[in-house]
């Protein structure tokens, strides 16, 4: 199956026929740090993805200047 990663955008092939959480573990991605998107839906960690699926792991983290308000 194909996994689309972002920042920078790239694609990797991994084995399907297993749960999303197993795919994340193989790629060493903390589940809290991404949305798992298949088509136009979100999928949960227990869902099984097939060999012909394409999933996007969209990072949710942003940051930089959003520090505490200094007045």
Partner 1 sequence: MKCRKCGERASIELRRHNAAFCTPDFLEFFKKQVREAIRKHRMFTTGEPVLVAVSGGKDSLALWDVLIDEGYRTSGLYLDLGIFDYSLESKAKCERFAAARGVPLIVSTVAAEVGAPVPTIKEVTRRPPCSGCGLSKRYLMNRVALEHGFPVVATGHNLDDEAATLFGSVMHWQTDSLPRQSPALAATHPKLVRRVKPLYRLSERETAAFAFLRKIDYIVDECPFAKGATSIAHKEILNQMEEASPGAKHNFLFGFLEKARPAFERAEAVTLNECARCGQVTTGTLCAFCKLADQVKRAVR
Distance between CA atoms of 57 and 30, rounded to whole angstroms? Answer: 11
Whether residue 37 contacts residue 10, with contact meaning beta carbons closer than 8 Å, is answered with: no
Task: Report the distance separating Cα 68 and Cα 71, nearest Å.
Answer: 9
| 3 state DSSP class of 22 | helix
> Least distance (Å) from partner 1 to the CB of residue 16?
19
Nearest distance from residue 66's CB to partner 1, in Å? 5
Shortest distance in whole angstroms from residue 13 CB to partner 1 = 22
Name the residue nearer to partner 1 (CB basis): 5 or 14: 5
Residues that bind partner 1 (CB under 8 A): 6-7, 30-35, 37, 41-47, 58-71
């Amino acid at each position: 199956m194909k996994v689309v990663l972002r920042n920078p955008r790239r694609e990797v092939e991994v084995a399907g026929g297993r749960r999303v959480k197993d795919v994340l573990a193989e790629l060493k991605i903390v589940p809290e740090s991404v949305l798992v998107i298949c088509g136009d839906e979100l999928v949960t960690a227990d869902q099984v993805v097939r060999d012909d699926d394409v999933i996007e792991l969209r990072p949710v983290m942003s940051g930089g200047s959003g520090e505490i308000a200094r007045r």
